[in-house]
């Protein structure tokens, strides 16, 4: 199994509200600093995005890539949203997930991410880039969901 980065945050909003922010991909450039563009390419019959193309500028990792999503979500919005890389120019592997758990009136979000790039990069630098992406995404998700 590839090394991955994991972090968690508590958001003062119910899981459904947090999930709404996560699922609104086309709004990502408004609040997710590294995401410059996001476009839904395919949706399933329930309206969930199956494939999304992103343009990312996260310092050491810059790419336009497509992710495929899996939604294992309860009616209240708790559950797991996971993704994996379909194609990228610089990225050769990306898997990740958000796990949303109701905690009273709040939601605990656990973000897991593993990335590998085509260009040679020391494992330590990859983990650092992952950590920056994960921590920034969680802080920005919290701000957006609580806003």
Distance between CA atoms of 94 and 104, rounded to whole angstroms?
32
Is pLDDT at 46 greater than 60 in this prediction?
yes
Closest Cα to residue 61, out of 84, 32, 94, 102? 94
> Is the pLDDT higher at 126 or at 140?
140
Read off the CATH number of the domain in which 13 is found: 3.30.530.20
Residue 133 — very low, low, confident or very high, per pLDDT cuts 50/70/90?
confident
The whole-number pLDDT of residue 3 equals 74
Q: What is the mean pLDDT of the chain?
A: 89
Residue 59 — very low, low, confident or very high, per pLDDT cuts 50/70/90?
confident
Helical pair 123-146 and 15-23, crossing angle rounded to 10 deg: 120
Arithmetic mean of pLDDT, 108-116: 91
The whole-number pLDDT of residue 82 equals 97
Range of the domain at 20: 5-146
Arithmetic mean of pLDDT, 78-90: 95
Instruction: For 74, list phi and psi in degrees, rounded to 5.
Output: -80, 170
How many domains would you assign to the chain?
1
Arithmetic mean of pLDDT, 62-78: 94
């Amino acid at each position: 199994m590839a090394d991955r980065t994991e972090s968690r945050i508590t958001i003062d909003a119910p899981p459904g509200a947090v999930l709404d922010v996560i699922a609104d991909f086309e709004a990502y450039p408004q609040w997710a600093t590294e995401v410059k563009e996001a476009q839904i390419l395919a949706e399933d019959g329930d309206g969930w995005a199956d494939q999304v193309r992103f343009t990312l500028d996260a310092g050491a990792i810059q790419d336009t890539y497509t992710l495929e999503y899996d939604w294992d979500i309860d009616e209240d919005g708790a559950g797991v949203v996971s993704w994996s890389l379909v194609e990228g120019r610089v990225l050769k592997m990306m898997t990740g997930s958000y796990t949303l758990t109701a905690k009273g009136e709040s939601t605990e979000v656990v973000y897991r991410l593993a990335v590998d790039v085509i260009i040679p990069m020391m494992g330590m630098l990859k983990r650092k880039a992952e950590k920056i992406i994960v921590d920034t995404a969680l802080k920005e998700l919290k701000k957006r969901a609580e806003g």
